[in-house]
Structure 1
Amino acid sequence: MLVVVRLSVEGENSADTVRDLYAWLSQEPELRGRVRIVEGDPEPGALGPVVEGLQMALGAGGAFASTATVLVAWLRSRRGEVSVKLSRGEGQPSMEVTAKGVKDLDVAAAKALTEQLTQVLTDAAAADTDGAQGS
C-alpha cells in the first residue's frame, strides 16, 4: 500500500528551499524515485512554472522512518524561518514542523520528534489500509 504525502515549505526563497529539501530526500536510498517536485501554472507574465512543494509516494517499511529522519536533520540545518507541512490532501490530518522549533532540540528531543513524524506517516498508511478494506 502506497501513501501519498505532500510536503509544502514556507520561508524565504521557498522554491529554492523546496529544491534543497528534494535533494536531501532524494539522496536517501529508501526514498530515491519516490519524491517529485510539484509545480503549478506560472503567474501571468512570469516565466516557467511555480514550485508548489513535494509529493512523496511511500510504501510500508523503512520509508516512513527515513522520511522523518531526513526532515528533522534538514530542519536542524536550516537558518531563519522555515516550516514544512506534511499532509495527505484536503480535509486530511496534517502536521507542521518549523526549523525554529527543531534547531535547538537536544538528541533525545530530536529522536522523539523523528518518532512522532514516523508515527504520523504510519497512521496515514494504516488509515489508507482500513479505508481500502472497508470498501
Structure 2
Amino acid sequence: MDLRMRLEHEDAEAFRALDLWLRREPDLRGRTSLVRTVPGPGEMGGVADVLMMAVGGGGAFTTLAASLRVFFAQPRRSDLTVRVETPDGRTIAVDAKRVANPEDLQREILGNSGES
C-alpha cells in the first residue's frame, strides 16, 4: 500500500525534517520518495510537497507509526499534523496525540483495503 503524506501547514523545514527522519529508520529505508505535485492555477511549482511511503500492514506500518510517535515528541514538532491519504482516497490527520496508539491508527488507515 502506498500512502501519501503531507504536512497540514506548509512548512518546508518540518517537511524536510520528516523526510530525513523516516529515511534514517532502517526498516523504512527505500520505502520513501518525495513527489512534486502539479501546481494549481497561479501557484508556483518546484518544491516537493508530498512524501510517498510504501507500507504493508505488518512491520513497516508499525515502524512508521512508532517513528512518527518519536518524531512528534521532538521540540517544536508536537503541534504538527501530517495528512495521510490512502490509495482509496481517504485522508486521516495524524498528530502527536493520535499516533500514541499505533494499532488504532493502523486500523483506521488500512480501513477496508483488505490489507493487514
**TM-score bin (small chain):** 0.7 to 0.9
- Match among 65, 74, 79 for residue 62 of structure 2: 65
Residue 114 of structure 1 pairs with residue 111 of structure 2: no
- Between Structure 1 and Structure 2, whose CA radius of gyration is higher? 1
**Percent identity (aligned):** 30
Q: Which runs of 5+ in 1 are unaligned?
A: 103-108, 130-135
The Cα RMSD (Å) is 2.8
- Distance (whole Å) between structure 2 residues aligned to residue 34 and residue 28 of structure 1: 10
| TM-score normalised by structure 1 residue count | 0.67
- Match among 4, 22, 40 for residue 6 of structure 1: 4
1:33-92 deviation per Cα after TM superposition (whole angstroms, max 9, x unaligned): 01011123568796x712212001113420010011111211121416421011114x62
Aligned length: 113
Q: 1:8 touches 1:84 (CA, 8 Å); kept in 2?
A: yes
Shift in CA distance, 88/78, structure 1 to aligned 2, threshold 3 Å: farther
Q: 1:38 touches 1:52 (CA, 8 Å); kept in 2?
A: yes
User: Within 5 Å, which residues of 2 pair with 1:1-135?
Assistant: 3-11=1-9, 14-41=11-38, 49-79=46-76, 81-89=79-87, 92-99=89-96, 101=97, 110=100, 113-121=101-109, 123-124=110-111, 127=113
| TM-score normalised by structure 2 residue count | 0.76
- Distance (whole Å) between structure 2 residues aligned to residue 95 and residue 71 of structure 1: 14
Structure 1 residue 115: deviation in Å?
2.0
Q: Which runs of 5+ in 2 are unaligned?
A: none
Write 1 or 2 for the structure with the bigger share of helix. 1
Return the letter of the residue paired with 1:86.
V
